[in-house]
Structure 1
C-alpha cells in the first residue's frame, strides 16, 4: 500500500467543502463560501462550474496549498441514475448525466463530478465519485408497493451511511463491512435510516419522496388520504407537496424554524409544542430503526448514529433507551463525508476494491410484469 494524496470536493448550495488528504490524514480543509448574488446570475447549477472552480483555486493559491501531486480528485456524486455502492471513475457519460441531472434531482452535488474532472484534467490526475446519493442496493421485496406500477426507490445519505458502517466494522467489530449487519442512521437536516446486510444497503427510506421520520425540514411519512385532504383544504398543487417532503415540512411547517438547537432551547424553556415536536421526531426515528431491524430478521450487529443532531445527548439517550434491546447503539456525531470520499479512492488505489464503471442505466428498472405491459 502506497502513500496517496487525495483532494475531495463537496458542493453545497452557497459553499463548497474541500479537503486535501495524505492517506487518512487531512492536511487542509475549508468550507469555501460563494457569493449568493453571483450564484444567482447563473440559470443552471452546471453554469456555476467555472466560478466555483476559480474561487477554489484562488483560495488555495492564497493559502499556499498546492495540488500538483494529487493522485485523485473525488467529487460528491449528484444527478446520476441509481447504481450500486462503490467508487466510480468519472467518464464522459457520468459527466453528462451529472451536468444534466439525469435523475431529475436538482442538487449542488451534481457539480461534484464536474469539479473533480476539471481539477483532474488540470493536474493530470484521476477523477472519481464515491457512493453517490443515488446508491440503490435494495432487495426486491422492498421495492413493491400496494399500487401496481409504483415501485419504491430510495434516496439516502449513502456516502456517510456506508462510511460509518465501514469504519465501525474495522475499528469496533474487527471485521469487514461485508461480514456485518447494521441499522445505520444519518440524523441531521435530513434523516436517513437504512438496513445494511453483508455490505449492501438492502432497504431504507426515500427521504426525497417523503418516507421515514419527520425532520427539521421534511414532513416524513403521512397517510395518503390525509395528505389529499390537506391539499384540497389548502388549494395546494403537487409542487407544493413536494416542497413539504424536502424543504417546508417538519419543524418548519409547525414552528417556522429548521434549527434543531433553537427547538430544543425552546423546549427547555417550557414550550410544550417544541418539546412535543422534538420527542415526536425521535419517536419516529425509533420506529424506523425497529422496522429496519425487522428487515435484518433481528440479526443486527449494531445501531450506528451519524449526523449533526447526534451531538445532542438527549437524542442519543432516547434512541439508546428505546433500541438497545435490538443491538448496541453507537453514536458517531457529525459526518465522515470528506473522509469517505478520500477513503473510497484510497481503497481503489490500494487494490482493496475495484473501481466501478458507471453504466448510465438504472441498477433496477422494474419487475418483469411491469415491462410486459409497458
Structure 2
C-alpha cells in the first residue's frame, strides 16, 4: 500500500499527515517559526516552510524518499475540471506568480514540489476552482458579471464519493444536493458526478457563522457610496464579520445555540440560518426536477445534531438526508493521490489556457 505525505498550509501553520494502509497514521498541525510572512516573497515562504517541514519529519523518523507521493491542497487556480492533478513547474509558477488571490493554499503545491526534489510524484485534488457549471448557472442577471464556481470542492467531492459507495451505486449515476456547513456555507447540486451549480460562499447563499451570504443589492450600493467604509472595510464586514458574529457577537455555533436556549433573539438568528440553508437546498432540488438520491450535510456545523435537525425539518421530505460531519481534508487529499497511484484514476495535467 502506498505511503503518502499530505500538506495543507494555513496562514501561520501547516497541517501535515501521513497516509498508509487506508488511514492517516500520523498528523500534526505544525506552527511555523516566528517571522512576518507579509514581508516575505512567496518563494521565501515556500523555502522556509519546506525546510521546517522536512526538519519536523526527520525528527519524527520519516524521510522524504520513503514516500510514494506527496498530496497537497490545491491553490487558487483558474477554472478546471474535478480530479487529481500532477504538480509540475507550470502549476508552481502559476501559484507563485500569476494567481489573482493571495491565499495560504497557494503554497502547498510549491512546497510539495520542492520537497520531492523531482523524485516523488506530487498531486493536488479538487481545488476550490473546480468548475462544472451548467451554462444557465453562470448567468447572474447582467452580462458584465458571471457567476463563478468557487466552493468547498475537496470535501464536497469526497463525501459524494463516500455516500455513493455506501449506497452501492456508481457516483456517475447519482444526484446529490451537498451542503458544506462551515465558516462559509456552500450548497451545491451534483448531477452524475458533476457539480453543476453551487453558491459562492463569499458572495451568495445563506448567511453563515461569519459571512453575510446574499444581501439586497440596493442597500449594498448605498452603503458602498455612503463614505462610511473603505472597500476593504466593507468586504471585511461582509466576508469576516457578518452572519452569527454580526447578530450575536460569536461565530461559534455551539455558543450561539447555548445563547438561543434563553434568548429569543439568538433563537431567531439560529432559526434564520437554518431556514436560509434549507431554502438553498430546496432550490437545488427544484432545478434537478426533484430527482435527488440524497441530501448530504457536511462540514463542522454538521456535528451539531440540534442544528442538523432544524435543517432536516424543512428538507427531509425532498430526499434521504445523510449527515457526514467534518471536513477531513487530509484524508481526501491522500485518497485522491492513492486513486492515481493504484490506477483507479488517471492524473490530469494543468495547462494555462487549456482550462475550462
Pick from 102, 107, 114 the counterpart of residue 111 of structure 1: 107
Provide the C-alpha distance between the structure 1 equivalents of 2:2 and 2:38, rounded to a whole number of angstroms: 38
Q: Give runs of ≥4 in structure 1 deviating > 6 Å.
A: none
* Alignment CA distance shift 1:45-1:280 (3 Å): farther
1:20 equivalent in structure 2? 18
Residues 117-146 of structure 1: per-residue CA shift (max 9 Å, x gap): 122217x20011000111111010100121
The alpha carbon displacement at 1:78 in A equals 0.8
2:247 equivalent in structure 1? 254
2:31 equivalent in structure 1? 33
SS of residue matched to 2:30: strand
Provide the C-alpha distance between the structure 2 equivalents of 1:257 and 1:338, rounded to a whole number of angstroms: 27
The alpha carbon displacement at 1:264 in A equals 1.8
2:308 equivalent in structure 1? 316
2:142 equivalent in structure 1? 147
Q: Report if aligned partners of 1:39, 1:48 keep a CA contact under 8 Å in 2.
A: no
Please give the TM-score of this superposition, normalised by the length of structure 1. Answer: 0.90
* Alignment CA distance shift 1:157-1:46 (3 Å): farther
Residues 170-192 of structure 1: per-residue CA shift (max 9 Å, x gap): 1x211221111101111111111
The alpha carbon displacement at 1:39 in A equals 3.9
2:285 equivalent in structure 1? 293
Pick from 306, 326, 334 the counterpart of residue 326 of structure 2: 334
Provide the C-alpha distance between the structure 2 equivalents of 1:256 and 1:100, rounded to a whole number of angstroms: 38
Provide the C-alpha distance between the structure 2 equivalents of 1:307 and 1:101, rounded to a whole number of angstroms: 30
What 5-or-longer segments of structure 1 have no aligned partner?
365-374
The alpha carbon displacement at 1:44 in A equals 4.4
RMSD, aligned α-carbons: 1.8
What 5-or-longer segments of structure 2 have no aligned partner?
none
1:175 equivalent in structure 2? 169
Counterparts of 1:133-282 in structure 2 under 5 Å?
Answer: 133-170=128-165, 172-208=166-202, 210-233=203-226, 235-268=228-261, 270-282=262-274
Structure 1 window deviating more from structure 2 (26-35 vs 87-96): it is: 26-35
1:305 equivalent in structure 2? 297
Aligned residue pairs, count = 356
2:65 equivalent in structure 1? 68
Residues 267-291 of structure 1: per-residue CA shift (max 9 Å, x gap): 22x2233222222111111111111
1:369 equivalent in structure 2? none
Q: Report if aligned partners of 2:138, 2:147 keep a CA contact under 8 Å in 1.
A: yes
The alpha carbon displacement at 1:17 in A equals 0.7
* Alignment CA distance shift 1:40-1:175 (3 Å): same
Provide the C-alpha distance between the structure 2 equivalents of 1:282 and 1:101, rounded to a whole number of angstroms: 38
Provide the C-alpha distance between the structure 2 equivalents of 1:27 and 1:39, rounded to a whole number of angstroms: 32
2:75 equivalent in structure 1? 78
Q: Report if aligned partners of 2:54, 2:64 keep a CA contact under 8 Å in 1.
A: no
